[in-house]
Chain A
Amino acid sequence: MSDKQTPFYHIHQKLGAKIIPFAGYLMPVMYDSITAEHLRVRNSVGLFDLTHMGEFELTGSGAKDFTQKLVTNDVSKLAPNQVMYTCMCYEDGGIVDDLLVYNLKDRIYLVVNASNIAKDFAHIEKHKPANVKLTNLSDQTALLAIQGPMAEKVMRQVTDYPLETIKYYYAAEGKVAGEQILFSRTGYTGEEGFELYFPNELGPKMWDVIYNKITALGGGAIGLGARDSLRLEMKMALYGNDIWEKTNPLEAGLGWVTKLDKGDFIGRDALVKVKEKGLTRKLVAFEMEDKSFPRQHYPILSGGKQIGEVTSGVISPSLNKGIGMGYVETKFGDIGAKIEIGIRGQNHPAVVVKPPFYKNASHK
């Protein structure tokens, strides 16, 4: 299977991006420098092509009730146009995916991870009742994210929509760059920002209008490399790294989106048992205490004995030190606990910290 191009592929090429195959798409990993792009989002504003992400629509009279059964968070609490971060689980409590649920006027809109589109579609299709229609819009939907403290300034120049009426994690359908589209005040960076969904064919036009405003403010295009370091500084989980089928939301620190008392949902029984028995491991955030850098799959140790494994690690561009996450046996996971990371045969000191790593993000 050859990798797909997003509607922005030729723009990325023209900007000199390093392009890699990722989840079936040819995506920009970096334009000029991950560090520079990262700091651009922290300090001004950046534009991300996230077209690889998957979009599904659930329609029909049972759409909202079914979504309540499908995901771990409480969909019944959603106001019109509100957006919710959640997991969906297998019967055994393992995570199928983490996703966004949009409670739109006439439909439920789901945004899922690119690498999970086929798996998620099959899972939802298998469980959905006859009064729900599931449509995969991923191939025809482009997604751009505008993220950074100046994101709203950019949006104000490309839409007349009263943005002050859109709260954090709410969506709207309105005109942006002259086109009627779906957009929301959401993101994966910790900064203020918006995510914009529209048909592929509008891609180049939307990019041009928005990119011009962004560069005029000192911002620029941001690749997947900086997307990863930005989310990691906020301790936001990445499916495939920090969460997967063999992890459950409780040990992954996603208890806040797992409402065991909301009524039945797929995986609830298993998760109730997990909670009753107590967690055997948990996902912790840690910082290196020397000049060394944790990477995925490095062992985590305590007193020289392995207690877990690093799931994500990076040199934090904002903090200029090694940061990471990983699962450890519960008793070693308290804030302030001293642990070690095994790096090429040597144990380096690290400490479990309270997330996020980066405390000064523009979204509070």
Chain B
Amino acid sequence: MIPQDLKYTKEHEWIRVEGDTGTIGITDYAQHELGDIVFVELPQVGAKVEFMKAFGTIEAVKAVSDIFSPLTGEIVDVNTALETNASAINTDPYGQGWIIKVKMTNPSELNNLLDAAAYGKLIGQ
């Protein structure tokens, strides 16, 4: 099940755009591939993120994975609930498992992202 209203990266992040702000997380496919997520290294509010640059890491029992930003901008909110409950990314990757909110500086970057159909194709669904 791939939500239709989101945009996706080839690195398996999703972004939900509302006005000039994007909420970012990782996809259900990505959380399943990683397995049990135990810890998320989160950035600070106010930090800058860049298009397709890593802004944090996800530690699963067996592996570690970088999280890439689908957009350039400034972090306006961080899901601090993940500090004590990183497994929310496993159980609810598109809801409670959101990671950061970014105020976009260059909305045209959205054109570089995949829509649900293209992302589905990428992961063979």
Q: Which residues in A have some Cβ–Cβ distance to B below 8 Å?
A: 18, 30, 33-36, 38, 225, 228-229, 291, 293, 295, 314-315, 317, 320, 344
Contact = CB atoms under 8 A, between A and B. Distances in A.
B62 interface: yes
B50 interface: no
Interface string B49-84: 000000001011111100000000000000000000
Contact of A35 (B32, B39, B61, B64): B61
B115 interface: no
Name A's interface SS: mixed
B35 interface: yes
A36 B38 CA distance: 13
A314 B61 contact: yes
Interface string B23-47: 0000000001001101100000000
A228 B36 contact: no
A314 B39 CA distance: 12
Size category of the B interface is 10 to 19
Contacts of B36: 33-36, 317
B39 A34 contact: no
Nearest to B64: A295
B57 A225 contact: no
Given A229-B61, A293-B64, 15 more contacts: A30-B35, A33-B35, A33-B36, A34-B35, A35-B36, A35-B61, A225-B35, A225-B61, A225-B62, A228-B62, A229-B62, A293-B39, A315-B38, A315-B60, A320-B38
Nearest to A321: B38
A192 to B, nearest CB: 23
Contacts of A38: 61
23 contacts: A18-B32, A30-B35, A33-B35, A33-B36, A34-B35, A34-B61, A34-B62, A35-B36, A35-B61, A225-B61, A228-B62, A229-B61, A229-B62, A291-B39, A293-B38, A293-B59, A295-B64, A314-B62, A315-B39, A315-B59, A315-B61, A317-B61, A320-B38
Question: Looking at A33, A315, A344, which has the most chain B CB atoms within 10 Å of its CB?
Answer: A315
Contacts of B62: 34, 225, 228-229, 314
Contacts of A291: 39
Nearest to A291: B39
Nearest to A320: B38
Nearest to A30: B35
Question: Looking at B38, B57, B60, which has the most chain A CB atoms within 10 Å of its CB?
Answer: B38
A314 B63 CA distance: 8
Contacts of A315: 38-39, 59-61
B89 to A, nearest CB: 13
B28 to A, nearest CB: 14
A125 to B, nearest CB: 35
Question: Looking at B38, B59, B61, B64, which has the most chain A CB atoms within 10 Å of its CB?
Answer: B61
A82 to B, nearest CB: 34
Contacts of B32: 18
A240 B57 CA distance: 26
A228 B59 CA distance: 16
A291 B83 CA distance: 11
B63 to A, nearest CB: 8
- Give the top 3 A-B pairs by smallest Cβ distance, nearest first: A35-B36, A34-B61, A315-B38
Contacts of B35: 18, 30, 33-34, 225
Contacts of B57: 344
A344 B55 CA distance: 12
B36 to A, nearest CB: 4
A30 B64 CA distance: 17
A293 B86 CA distance: 14
B32 to A, nearest CB: 8
Contacts of B60: 315
Contacts of B64: 293, 295
